[in-house]
Amino acid sequence: MLRNIDLSSWQGLLTTVIGLALFALIGIGIRLLIMFTIQQRRERFNRQIVDCR
């Protein structure tokens, strides 16, 4: 009986940890993508300014 409860709680803990890890990874990936696109846009903008001069 005790072992069963322990196992289920471990499973719950594991799924929670995995879920949090996935959430963090997705968040980091989105942040990196946004930063990358902003950097590219900035570089393009800077090039346009240089071309005008």
- In a structure prediction context, what are the per-residue pLDDT tens digits for the chain, which is 53 residues long? 455 556 678 888 999 999 999 999 999 999 999 999 999 999 988 888 777 76
pTM: 0.58
Position 2 in a domain? no
- Look up residue 7 and give its amino acid: L
Position 42 in a domain? yes
Per DSSP, helices labelled H in the chain are 2-52
Position 3 in a domain? no
What does DSSP assign to residue 53?
A: -
Position 40 in a domain? yes
27 contacts: CB under 8 Å, gap ≥ 6 = none
> According to the model, what pLDDT value does residue 34 have?
98
Position 17 in a domain? no
Position 37 in a domain? yes
Position 52 in a domain? yes
> According to the model, what pLDDT value does residue 2 have?
53
Instruction: Supply φ then ψ for residue 20, to 5 degrees.
Output: -65, -40
Position 41 in a domain? yes
> According to the model, what pLDDT value does residue 46 have?
86
Parent domain of 51: 23-53
> According to the model, what pLDDT value does residue 50 have?
75
Instruction: In whole angstroms, give the CA distance from residue 48 to residue 12.
Output: 54
Q: How many domains does the chain have?
A: 1
